[in-house]
Amino acid sequence: MANKTRNQNPVVGDTINLKLISRNSNNLCDLFNIDHVDILIESCATCGEECKCEKKEIKETLVETIPGSSIERCDVGTYNFDLVTSAPTYIIENYHDVWYVTFKEGDVQTSYKQNFKINPDLWVLSGTPVVYSFDFRFTPNRIRKGSKKWLIIQIIPNVPRATDLQKYYENIAISAELKISIEQACGPCVPKESDLRLIVDEDPVTERDKVFSYYKIDTTDWDCGIYNVWFELDFAGNVEISPKQQFQVF
């Protein structure tokens, strides 16, 4: 199955990358310790997981515990681990990942709860291939040189509204692999060779939240000028490459 983030509509069998980011005041800051992470499933306190109650009373049951030794520090104040959601341990339901952390040496251990959902499979039967396309929007389009900022990317399916196709294509936008490329288009010292103008070359966009994606750029060493940006979406045997769009570093 696929590798996804918590907001990419994971299904049973997917590997979900669960992340925690810690900050102290205004800055990313490492934790003193992560002891473990508990994975909890929601169920009905009255009739269990297969609940048909109109108003169910929620209880949380431990599914598994991830030891601190299995959690990776991937950057300052940023931690993650991969959760394999194999059946029958995992089913279609709401889950919580509860992180047990210590901020500083000598502090009392505290917990932080996050949420994710395992969704039903989205089967679609059709006599025609996947033929519709996507639009890509991003912001900001003017960035001050020296800024370290997130580009916010939105993927919009070009399909008829209020149809089953819309739901299917929205799921593609959420779960398909997305890549970004950036090249310098004009400025004081633009190389003639296209490969030398390339700043970012088909880099995977891994920060995903439904139809929105986030890609961090650091313009400290970039020249002022106009830059082209384009996106690539790989889905259902198709590769959608967007037209080149532009932003300015000034």
Highest mean pLDDT among 110-114, 121-125, 224-228, 232-236: 110-114
Mean residue pLDDT of the chain comes to 92
Average pLDDT score over residue span 59-67: 97
Lowest mean pLDDT among 5-14, 115-124, 190-199: 190-199
SS3 assignment, position 179: strand
The domains found in the chain, sorted by start residue, are 3-118 (2.60.40), 134-249 (2.60.40.1930)
What are the tens digits of pLDDT across the range 126-174?
Answer: 888 888 999 999 999 999 999 999 999 999 999 887 677 888 899 999 9
pLDDT of amino acid 178? 97
Question: Nearest CA to 2 among 95, 122, 12?
Answer: 12
What are the tens digits of pLDDT across the range 222-247?
Answer: 999 999 999 999 998 899 999 999 99
Average pLDDT score over residue span 37-50: 80
pLDDT of amino acid 166? 85
**By the 8 A CB rule, do 22 and 31 touch?**
yes
Lowest mean pLDDT among 12-16, 50-54, 58-62, 214-218: 50-54
Residue with tokens 């599914």: 63
Q: What is the rounded distance in angstroms from the CA atom of residue 5 to the CA atom of residue 17? A: 5
pTM of the model: 0.86
Four-point Cα dihedral 79, 8, 111, 23, nearest 10: 50
